[in-house]
């Protein structure tokens, strides 16, 4: 069985602060894929990133960066210089090699105050 | 425009009254799935389909049925809805043969009284 844990249920920051959202996962598969999705207040799910288990390079996209550490089974997401528009629920997710079951964490609600 | 379309977007119904939430995608994706989202639990998979006429249970299939008669459609059926099925439902699709991005519908908020 696979599992994704997002221990932070809610985070509140002031605009321009950096914030890191934690994601820890469990899987028996040697090949797997990790995702982050954003759910803004409007409710849709927005794809942010996919990372496969063989690629441990960190990735940066504008103010967003992701730190994948296989040794600690973590795939953390950092927003630099947060903005009010970053306020949303963020989900980390995992799919194993079979590709049929995408398991989500419980989500982290990020509130960025002006 | 590539999209996954769910209907209805909002529904209030009563216990026991059968309902169907439709899902249609225009990307010729083989894989489709249904999720429910509940506070603190994230999204949990209800059913998925790897292709036409191939469906399988996810983590929380009880009380739901699905069918996949055509590639583009994957309806979710609640034969006898109960209040614990009040939730936000998402349909999603992607290509098979990869584990790429899931494309999600806009969600269907269902309330069972």
Pair A112, B111: CB distance under 8 Å: no
Length of chain A: 114
Would you state the pLDDT for residue A96? Answer: 86
Q: Which stretches of chain A score pLDDT less than 70?
A: none
Contact yes or no for B48 and A35 at CB 8 A: no
Tokens of B79: 């034969």
Interface test with B, best of A5, A104, A105, A108 (most B CBs within 10 A): A104
Pair A78, A63: CB distance under 8 Å: no
What is the b/e burial string over A59-72, where b = at least 16 CB atoms within 10 angstroms of the residue's CB? eeeeebbbbbeeee
Would you state the pLDDT for residue B9? Answer: 96
Q: Which of B41, B45, B56 is facing A102, going by the closest CB pair? A: B45
pLDDT tens for each residue of chain B, 113 residues long: 889 999 999 999 999 999 999 999 999 999 999 999 998 888 999 999 999 999 999 999 999 999 999 999 999 999 999 999 999 999 999 887 656 788 999 999 999 99
d(CA A79, CA A91): 14
Contact yes or no for A99 and B106 at CB 8 A: no
Contact A83/B at CB under 8 A = no
Would you state the pLDDT for residue B39? Answer: 86
In angstroms, what separates the C-alpha of B113 from chain A's closest C-alpha?
22
Contact B34/A at CB under 8 A = no
Contact A114/B at CB under 8 A = no
Tokens of A57: 């390079």
In eight-state DSSP terms, residue B15 is: T
d(CA B88, CA B108): 6
d(CA A20, CA B79): 43
Would you state the pLDDT for residue B97? Answer: 62
Between chain A and chain B, the number of residue pairs with CB atoms below 8 A apart is 54
């Amino acid at each position: 069985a696979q599992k994704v844990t997002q221990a932070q249920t809610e985070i509140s920051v002031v605009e321009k602060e950096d914030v890191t959202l934690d994601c820890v996962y469990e899987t028996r598969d040697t090949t797997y894929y990790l995702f982050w999705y954003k759910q803004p207040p409007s409710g849709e799910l927005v794809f942010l990133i996919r990372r496969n288990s063989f690629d441990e390079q960190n990735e940066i996209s504008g103010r967003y960066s992701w730190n994948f550490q296989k040794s600690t089974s973590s795939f953390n997401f950092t927003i630099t210089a947060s903005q009010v528009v970053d306020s949303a629920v963020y989900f980390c997710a995992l799919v194993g090699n079979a590709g049929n079951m995408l398991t989500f964490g419980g989500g982290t609600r990020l509130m960025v105050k002006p | 425009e590539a999209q996954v379309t769910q209907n209805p977007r909002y529904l209030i119904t009563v216990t026991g009254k059968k309902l169907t939430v439709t899902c249609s995608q225009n990307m010729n994706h083989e894989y489709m799935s249904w999720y429910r989202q509940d506070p603190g639990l994230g999204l949990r998979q209800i059913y998925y389909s790897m292709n036409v006429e191939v469906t399988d249970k996810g983590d929380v299939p009880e009380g739901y049925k699905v069918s996949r008669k055509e590639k583009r459609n994957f309806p979710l059926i609640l034969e006898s809805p109960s209040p614990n099925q009040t939730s936000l439902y998402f349909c999603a699709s992607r290509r098979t043969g990869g584990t790429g991005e899931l494309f999600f519908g806009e969600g269907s908020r269902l309330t069972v009284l």
